[in-house]
Structure 1
């Protein structure tokens, strides 16, 4: 959901900046006169001497009692929305807690980082795995695992993925009482530099 909102907001913001910048360039470089085309009557930038906001536009609502409170409220709302958006970007999508279904219908919480670290340690113990990084994402009731593995040159990807799926993730799923634990796995090969032997 957050990715979709980001894309829509960034797209609208970029489109607005593109239109505004294009309008300023058209007027500032006097391109409509040079290239021989007309701009619509409502277009504010008609030549290099035009300004973004003229005297009439700046002073039109100054005497109205509602003008300044409305401007301040709109700017404050815009500031709050931009701060919310910034905080949403900084927030990591790491899952903090996993809800575990205990006996008798009671639920308890399992630390998501602890579960990820256990999975990492089991993966590092597999033959051919040099390093592992696991991050839990999703919802507390339906977590998903993102796994990155760095394989040694002798490591076999098919065997490693099989053991990851059948053993490591299956144990984590069963120990947390989850019906399923979907995962995305990225494999990389560790590159060792050449060493000089004297």
Structure 2
């Protein structure tokens, strides 16, 4: 769901951005004195966006104000939905663990994150590890951030994380797979004076 939401978010932002740039650029071009095409909504440099006749055209109609209010309410609700979808935390709260007898048990997502982070942090050369589970409860995905000691080879750290911590988490939860996105950064230690 998060990948779909990311795509929808980017497409909407792109479309809105292109429309605003085209409209704003064309209004600016006409305002600077360029001659607009015959079909354009502005006639020239001194033309206004909405004149008095256009602004008051539908005011006497009984359907006008309810329609305007309904459209604005729908736009506000869509904007609020979009904002909450973007800001919502996408942390997985529980993972479905297969018990082998056709049944399943629910494991708290934070518990699996904690165990995964502790095991990753205990790997040689890893200064600190943080994990975050996303996805669905029957198909979780892990995001792992590792802070590595300066002397550690990132390839070796990744191999150890994959072979140990991620494999143990996947097997203990009875998951067919546990895709992971791993980000690594080297720890920077401050120089200390030696006397």
TM-score after normalising by structure 2:
0.91
In structure 1, how many angstroms separate the alpha carbons of the residues matched to 2:42 and 2:33? 9
CA RMSD of aligned residues (A): 1.5
**Match of residue 44 from structure 1:** 41
CA distance in 2, matches of 1:42, 1:64: 28
Q: Which aligned segments of 4 or more residues in structure 1 are displaced greater than 6 angstroms?
A: none
Q: 1:91-121 deviations in whole A, cap 9, x for unaligned?
A: 1222222111224222222111221111111
SS of corresponding position for 1:177 = coil
Does 1:13 pair with 2:54? no
1:144 equivalenced with 2:147 (yes/no): no
TM-score w.r.t. the length of structure 1 is 0.90
Distance across 1 between alignment mates of 2:10 and 2:97: 34
Return the alpha-carbon distance in structure 1 between the equivalents of residues 58 and 33 of structure 2. Answer: 30
1:60 to 47, 57, 62: 57
Helix, strand or coil at the partner of 1:105: coil
Tell me the distance in 2 between the aligned counterparts of 1:135 and 1:57: 54
Counterpart in the other structure of 1:35: none
Unpaired stretches in structure 2, ≥5 consecutive residues: none
- Size of the aligned set, in residue pairs, is 192
**Partner Cα separation in structure 2 for residue 67 and residue 42 of structure 1:** 26
SS in 2 for 1:133: strand
Higher RCO (CA < 8 A, seq sep 6+): 2
Choose which of 99, 122, 128 in structure 2 pairs with 1:125: 122
Task: Give the counterpart of 2:190 among 165, 174, 193.
Answer: 193
